[in-house]
Structure 1
Amino acid sequence: MRPHDMGTLFHEVAARRTHTTVVLDRPFDIAPDRGTRFTVPQLADLVEEAAGWLHAAGACPGERVAVVKRNHYDYDLLACAAIRLGAVPALLSGHLSDDALETLLKRLEPAVLVTDRPVPAHHARRVLSLDVPGEGELTLDDVRGTRAPAPRRRHDDDPLVVNHTSGTTGTPKLVVHTTSTIVNRLARFEALRIPVVGTRRDDVVANASSYSHGRTFCWTGSVFCLAPRKIVLLSDPASAGEVLTAHPPTTVEALPSAYVRWRPLAHQADNPFRNVRLFVSTYDAVHPPVVRALLHASRRRRPLWMQGWGQTETGPLTFRFLTRAAVDRANHARDLGRPLPGRTRLQVVDPVTFQPVPRGRPGLVLARTGARCTAYVGEQDRWHDKETGGWWNTGDLGVLTRGGTVLLLDREVDTVPGLSCLKTEDVIENRLPEVLECIVLGAPGSPPLPVVVTADGHLDPLRWRSAITDLPVLAPPHVTTWDELPRTGTGKVRRLELLTRLIGHADTHGTGRWT
């Protein structure tokens, strides 16, 4: 089976009498009394119920339904419910600041806002509260029991879903995808039973993601069609050890930040990754020490790590496979692999002239893909600035090697002359196992500033000096802990916000024009 209509996806899968069991780490926020185990027919019923709730709240075909709440997979259930009505779901992370949320809601002007937090509700016609309601807001009790209208189909090129970018460099962009771009081009391809990397019927599939982002919406359209034995959905990677141990997965897809948090679990005697045959990493590269620890935690003969690189606007652009032997040899994680054959083309151009540069020379990475988004809500001029003759400006600096692989250097806004911040981070993490994460920040007039994350916020100065002896001159490290860094909903560090905290401004060497 391959996905066609996300509004009726769960009903179509349920009709095939799949035996997939869905396990949660905590109950859904939209169904707190229904426990943590679901069948696909039960999920289908919940989507239909939620469509009735949204209909009762006033959502109509073509209008936007915004969702902002705690991280959980019910983001995707609400998205399918809105699509069933012919509405357009706009999924906003609960990690957004009040100012960013205010800006995004103003751009969206949703008919209905579903939320569990106090929000600037004057931009929505109705608010459906999942927590203590404010004045004039609806609760689930107010809308329960409303029968959902018959499913409404839309043209494949009409807006289907709105997701926002990670927002590491400021207010996120609101990305519009259609059925053509995110379902037909991406989810239907992933729903193929591809040898080795495809989902099997006997798999236990675990996912730990930021469910407001487009990756899990696309993943939903494929994994349920493939009908694995069990799907484990994790809302909080930091406390996922007990659930993973009780339901050892055979395939795992997770945020890079989740893998970092799980590294200590890999060293336990009964580690939950003992049965994993395939790890999947999206959003960003994972540093080699983390990949190494998890691959060696598996007791399978040949576990694989599949690293994907892409953007909310484009979907996946490149892929790379790592084995135990390959990651043991790897010095840095910024080899992003090759473009998806027949689906993606890449070229590297001079950042000033936009003329193609020879292979092996750094420049701006441009991509051509049929899965590219169709708009930015409220910022269409910005979308046009990033599109040139069918090529999409990723805003990343990289190298296209003679062998056809992509080496990522830095985001253009984060660049430092004569240095790859990302590669420097990889080298430091490889040399200092106690470093959970390293972020190198650059600002004009001063040496690059390394921010080093350890478990206790301390680092041996002698070990630090020994690790950086052959690196370019760096400022003294700022040593901190995981929770003290500003992060996005996907766990990425908000680099410009962190730079402002540490040096008082966010001036960088890059222009930031294509972020």
Structure 2
Amino acid sequence: MKPHDLGTLFDEVASRRPHTTVHLDRPFDIVPGDGPGAVEHTVPELAWLVREAAGWLHAAGLRRGERVAVVKRNHYDYALLACAAIRLGAVPALISGRLPDDVLEVLLKRLEPALLVTDRRPPADAARRVLSLDPAVEGALTLDDVRGQGVPAPRRRHDDEPLVIHHTSGTTGVPKLVVHTTRTLAHRPSRVGVARWPVIGARRDDVVANAASYAHVRAFRWTAGVFRRAPREVVLLSEAGSAERVFTQHPPTTLEALPAAYARWRPLAARPDNPFRDVRLFVSAYDAVHPPVVRTMLHASRRRWPVWVQGWGQSETGPLTSRVLTRRAVNRPFDARDLGRPAPGRTRLRVVDPATLEPVPHGRAGLLLARTAARCPGYVGEQDRWLAKTSGAWWHTGDLGVLTRGGAVRLLDREVDAVPGLSCLEVEDLLEDRLPEVVECVVLGAPGGPPVPVLVLDGPLDPPAWRRAVADLPPLAAPHVLAWDEVPRTATGKVRRLDLLIRLTGAADIHGSGRWT
């Protein structure tokens, strides 16, 4: 399938394989309602909703080639609105509703959208027209104003024209707006969750669940793969806290979720009656996952051979590597920084010295570069920044790592977060393994002192346990103990490390250059 078919994806699936039932944790924001019908849909109903939404956008004045920004609460109707805009030949820009007002204002100024679809009060002059979902904004259109206006015919575009815009996570500042075309999305090596493999891939009898940030490009690509495979049921969570209620009613057999969601589900997964007991395939593709999380989830499954697929990539490049872990593999100490190998014939990787940009031999740490036909063609409003991250066909990922002689990637840290002589991610792995009560560990580096550990706990830290855990580690500062909601995060649950460092130390000094962020 080519991504330019996304405008009519649900029509196509509905005409050939309409049997999939879709379950939601709450009604769509674009069709609020009550009762079972609001949280359960068929594929033909989703196809109808995409067509209707295309009519709404057209009635609101959106035309071929124009940009429409979508900013709202997290839910899967991001994907439906994107498909509707693509059907018109317009370019959807999906922006998380969790972004603060000042960041949103910057992104909308870069986008200059013809239409803004939102459920919040937008900045002044955010777009030529505003379609308000909830609440109504003075001077904005509402859905009642645009319903019943007819459905325009699908429009196609050239493979190298912009297809969709997503933003990066924004862990170090204002997110970048990443443009993808039909060609760059079509070349993504979609090994995770889509391939027709015996274990890794959706099957007709599967209950496929997802708990994602639906404004993210990964969720967009997931849509293209999963619905084409027509599983028995699809379960979509708008928030991780819905898992116990919804998964108990509809136990998933394959599950993709944000790493932050998996971390929050550890206590739930440890229960004998956990709702993950029928999962045969776990997928994580957004961020690093620490060993205790992987181990807990695989042991929660009652399947004989459950597997965990870890993907590494970026919004700009799509997936770059993948790795499969089994229960047997995680029962002994394992290196969670090993991210597997690139897709053969699709992606090439190399490591260079961060100072000279000269290649370094296998086994030596440096800056990871990627070469793939899936690389995005630019950033909206920041093309100079995009050019600064390229060396010909090579892309500077901004990650530090090692390439083994066998071609596998071992990730060390983001360059901007690096501490000389130390892998913060490795220390985090060790501390989470040694302190089971820790929900999440973050190690922050700042010049002039030892690294600062931050422990996310639901209760107090046991000082003797802490001393035993760090006895053989490099010197660390006294730990900060925080609750989950006290940690600044992106829309995908990643920790905003610089913001956290400033909050704890009052300074923004770091070891890394941040040159490739």
TM-score (norm 2): 0.97
- State whether structure 2 residue 25 is matched by structure 1 residue 25: yes
How far residue 211 of structure 1 moved from its aligned partner, in angstroms, is 0.3
What is aligned with 2:69?
A: 66
**Which whole-Å deviations, capped at 9, do the CAs of 1:317-353 have from their partners, x for residues lacking one?**
0101101111122344111111112211100000011
Compute the displacement of 1:189 (Å): 9.2
Partner of 1:247: 250
Equivalent residue in structure 1 for 2:354, among 327, 351, 354 = 351
> Does residue 502 of structure 1 match 2:504?
yes
1:366 aligns with 2:393: no
Please report how far the alpha carbon of residue 269 of structure 1 lies from its aligned counterpart in structure 2 after TM superposition.
Answer: 2.1
1:342 and 2:359 aligned: no
In structure 2, relative to structure 1, the CA distance for the partners of 1:60 and 1:188 (3 Å cut) is: farther
1:477 is matched with which residue? Answer: 479
Q: Is the CA contact 1:2–1:191 (under 8 Å) kept in the aligned structure 2?
A: no
- Taking the aligned partners of 2:369 and 2:162, their CA distance within structure 1 comes to 24
Q: Retained in 2: the 8 A contact 1:183–1:221?
A: no
SS of the residue aligned with 1:123? coil
Corresponding letter in the other structure for 2:9: L
Q: d(CA) in 2 for partners of 1:121 and 1:24?
A: 33
Q: Map residues 9-20 of structure 1 onto 2, 5 A cutoff.
A: 9-20=9-20
Percent of counterpart pairs with the same letter? Answer: 72
How do 1:143-292 and structure 2 match up within 5 A?
A: 143-186=146-189, 191-292=194-295
Residue of structure 2 equivalent to 1:432: 435
Q: Is the 8 A contact 1:8 1:80 kept in 2?
A: yes
Is the Cα–Cα contact under 8 Å of residues 194 and 200 in structure 2 kept in the other structure? Answer: no
Q: Secondary structure at the match of 2:308?
A: strand
Is 1:83 the counterpart of 2:86? The answer is yes
Partner of 1:408: 411
CA contact (8 A) 1:187 1:221 kept: no
Q: Superposition pairs for residues 309-458 of structure 1, below 5 Å?
A: 309-456=312-459, 458=460
The one-character-per-residue Cα deviations of 1:134-180 (angstroms, maximum 9, x if unpaired) are 22111111111111211000011110000000000000000000111
Q: Which moved more, 1:236-245 or 1:176-185?
A: 176-185
Match of 2:6 in 1: 6
Structure 1, residues 395-437: CA drift from partner, whole Å, max 9, x if none? Answer: 0000111222111111000011111111000000000000110
The AA in structure 1 aligned to 2:305 is R
* SS, match of residue 253 in structure 1: strand
Aligned-pair Cα RMSD in Å:
1.3
User: Are the counterparts in 2 of residues 3 and 225 from structure 1 also a CA contact under 8 Å?
Assistant: no
1:45 partnered with 2:48: yes
Is the 1:186–1:218 contact (alpha carbons within 8 Å) kept by the matching residues of 2? no
The match for 2:492 is: 490
**2:104 partner amino acid:** L
- Segments of 5+ residues of structure 1 without an aligned counterpart are none
Contact 2:189 2:343 survives alignment (8 Å): no
The C-alpha deviation readout for 1:433-460, integer Å capped at 9, x for no partner, is 001101000111111000100113x201
Deviation at 1:4, TM superposition (A): 4.9
**CA offset digits 1:272-329 (Å, max 9, x no partner):** 1111111000011211111111101111111000000000001100101101111122
Instruction: Please tell me the residue identity of whatever aligns with 1:94.
Output: G
Counterpart secondary structure, 2:283: strand
Matched, 1:514 2:516: yes
SS at match of 1:185: coil
Secondary structure of the equivalent of 1:122? coil
Does the 8 Å contact 1:3/1:188 carry over to 2? no
Instruction: Give 2:447's aligned amino acid.
Output: P
Deviation of residue 187 (structure 1)? 5.7
Q: How many residues align?
A: 514
Q: Alpha carbons of 1:354 and 1:188: their partners in 2 closer, same or farther (altered >3 Å)?
A: closer
In structure 2, runs of 5+ residues without a counterpart are: none
Shift of 1:186: 4.5
Taking structure 1 as the reference length, what is the TM-score of the superposition?
0.98
Partner of 2:461: 459
